[in-house]
Amino acid sequence: MQPTIGRIVHYTLNDTDANLIQQRRTTDGTIANTTSEGQTYPATVVRTFGGEAANLQVHLDGPDTYWATSRTPGEGPGHWAWPARV
């Protein structure tokens, strides 16, 4: 199934993502929980490219978000996945 705009997926932070988020929070004074590689957050698909790659707005555990660009589905850090059905 291909991503479509507005769908919610789960995105797992990679080390670069986590470091960029922490640097930005330090710079702008955002108070929030620490991020690290391997943490998974809900994300909204904001743009697709006709395949499985998508730009995501990641909803962090705090008052901010993170823009993850051109991410593909898969397992592990740096990838998004469909939420499990329960």
pTM of the model: 0.94
C-alpha 31 chain-centroid distance: 19
Return d(Cα 66, Cα 59) in angstroms, integer: 7
How does the average pLDDT of the chain come out, rounded? 96
pLDDT at 50: 87
Over residues 14-72, the pLDDT tens digits come to: 999 999 999 999 999 999 999 999 999 999 999 999 899 999 999 999 999 999 999 99
Return d(Cα 13, Cα 29) in angstroms, integer: 21
* Residue 18, number of CB atoms within 10 A of its CB: 18
Quick one: what percent of the chain has pLDDT higher than 70?
A: 100
Which residues touch 51 (CB under 8 Å, ≥6 apart)? 2
Query: For residues 41 and 32, is the Cβ–Cβ distance under 8 A?
Result: no
